[in-house]
Amino acid sequence: MKTQIVSQSVIEARVRRALAREGEVLRKTRDGNTWAKVDLGDYYTVDPYTRFPERRHCDLDQLARECNALRPGEVIAE
């Protein structure tokens, strides 16, 4: 099977769409915001109704595989 490299922004969009079906929103902390990176990590999910973080310190690759947003043979570009 040939490995296909997919950009990070494409995977983020796929994960956002998949999580929207489950009632969650994917968020990414801004660069330079050190307290948010320490508390929430690079990626985190939020409940859209309460705006409370559901999952913190999410690994985009792992989250994409859980949501079936990353197809077999695809790899996220660094």
pTM across the whole model? 0.88
* pLDDT of 77 above 80: yes
- Bridge partners of 28? 43
pLDDT the model gives residue 78 = 78
Mean pLDDT value of segment 9-17? 96
The domain limits of the chain are 4-73
Alpha-carbon distance of 9 to 64, in angstroms, equals 12
Q: What is the pLDDT of residue 56?
A: 96
What Å distances lie between residue 77 and 10, 20, 26, 29, CA to CA?
Answer: 10, 24, 19, 19
Whether the predicted pLDDT of 1 surpasses 80? no
Task: Please write the tens of the pLDDT for every residue from 41-75.
Answer: 999 999 999 999 999 999 999 999 999 999 889 99
